[in-house]
Structure 1
Amino acid sequence: MQESRTAHEHCLSLQDALHRFRAEGLGEAVAWGRNLADILPAGGRLLCAGNGGSAAQAQHLTAELVGRYDQERRPFSAISLHAETSSVTAIGNDYGFDEIFARQVAAHGRAGDVLMLMSTSGSSDNLLGAATAGRAAGLRVWAMTGPAPNPLAAQADAVLSIDTESTATVQEAHLVALHVVCESFDEALPGPGPVTAPQPAVLTRRDAS
């Protein structure tokens, strides 16, 4: 079957973006994972937000932290703000869409927590508002974006940008970066290492009675 030119170009775009990420952004992703390994076990929290596909990426990350990425370990506090549907719709209705994340950051964020904001454009007003609220509350603001400079990157304490014009490629590279964050987090966790998953109890006839 003949290759689609569009599909071939898509793969080349991703290949190029990952090459640049490996050269320029890999160290930042590793550092984020290691920082989270200091913050979350000490009782800190990760707040995440994004719009559209970036919302799905952010929720992917929080699921890996509350659940697990690879090996068994304790759960950690990580919340995807866009997934709080009642809060999002109530805030959007009462205060406007630009406030849906900022108000939640003000409610849930504590000094020393991390706010990770994901955006392919880096210019979404609701994420810019969240960054402002995060800084005001003493959170560390991390931005995962498309090409920099952009307004969100300018407001963040740390930035991981993917240098490509393709929105799809940005999101695909963000997923790789998120997995690197998770791997680095698990590797850097303090303590004796991964926890073995408890095995389900096997009931004997006497136990069952």
Structure 2
Amino acid sequence: MKTLLSTNLIYSIMAKEAFVKEAADDILRLTEWIREVFEDGGKLLIFGNGGSAADAQHLAAEFVNRFLINRRPLPALALTTDTSILTSIANDFSYDLVFVKQIQALGKPEDLALGISTSGNSVNVVKAMETARAIGMKTVAFTGGTTRPGGDLAAVCDLVLNVPSDSTPHIQETHLWLEHVICEIVEKQMFGTT
């Protein structure tokens, strides 16, 4: 079991290192976009399924409350939290539309849609991105994989941050690291280091 621990840690670190090597410029581009959205009165709409839904909620909480700096709340909303909305849309229409209808209701051109999908192929995330694009929102995806980097989301997003790994746990671990580093950079850009 100690070998498993060491091996798992090594592969997790390797996934992060490969991701940063490929995506450093895009990560910084995204932090600029998020800062601009917040400074221009827009909001961040975040969504995904399963572990990615938990990531959406975690990221929204870091922006609304605080990450490392005590500062004013920043407008971020996870579209994964309202069970009445999610279940009514899934029941009355389709699970494929649970994020689409929320984007239609809440999204404005000055906002940014951030979809999280380990495979890049979650139908409800892809459809939501298509809707966000039609509204005029910036669209960003966190994905993973080596065979089809970005999956179906690559064709419908302005920016895709793809973890070059086929291990779902390591992709998700990298997404969490990415979410934290984005929060830290945006806070420092907007509020300094106090």
Identity of aligned residues (%): 36
1:146 aligns with 2:147: no
* Equivalent residue, structure 2, for 1:121: 119
- Where do 5+ consecutive residues of structure 1 fail to align? 196-209
Work out which of the residue numbers 86, 89, 96 in structure 2 matches 1:88: 86
Give the Å deviation of 1:27: 2.6
Q: Deviations over 1:126-148 (max 9, x none)?
A: 00110111011111110000120
Q: CA RMSD in A?
A: 1.5
Give the Å deviation of 1:18: 1.1
CA contact (8 A) 1:145 1:153 kept: no
Q: TM-score, normalised by structure 2?
A: 0.93
Deviation beyond 4 Å, 4+ runs, structure 1: none
* Equivalent residue, structure 2, for 1:187: 188
Work out which of the residue numbers 132, 149, 153 in structure 1 matches 2:130: 132
SS at match of 1:83: coil
CA contact (8 A) 1:119 1:144 kept: yes
Give the Å deviation of 1:149: 4.2
Q: Flag the structure with larger Rg.
A: 1
Q: Deviations over 1:137-184 (max 9, x none)?
A: 111110000120410122110010001111000000001111111111
Q: TM-score, normalised by structure 1?
A: 0.87
User: Matches of 1:23 and 1:173 in 2, distance apart?
Assistant: 13
* Equivalent residue, structure 1, for 2:20: 22
User: Matches of 2:190 and 2:33 in 1, distance apart?
Assistant: 10
CA contact (8 A) 2:150 2:161 kept: no
- Matched pairs, number: 191
Work out which of the residue numbers 67, 89, 97 in structure 2 matches 1:69: 67
* Equivalent residue, structure 1, for 2:2: 3
Q: Judging changes above 3 Å, is the alpha-carbon distance between structure 1 residues 169 and 93 closer, same or farther for their aligned structure 2 residues?
A: same
CA contact (8 A) 2:44 2:75 kept: yes
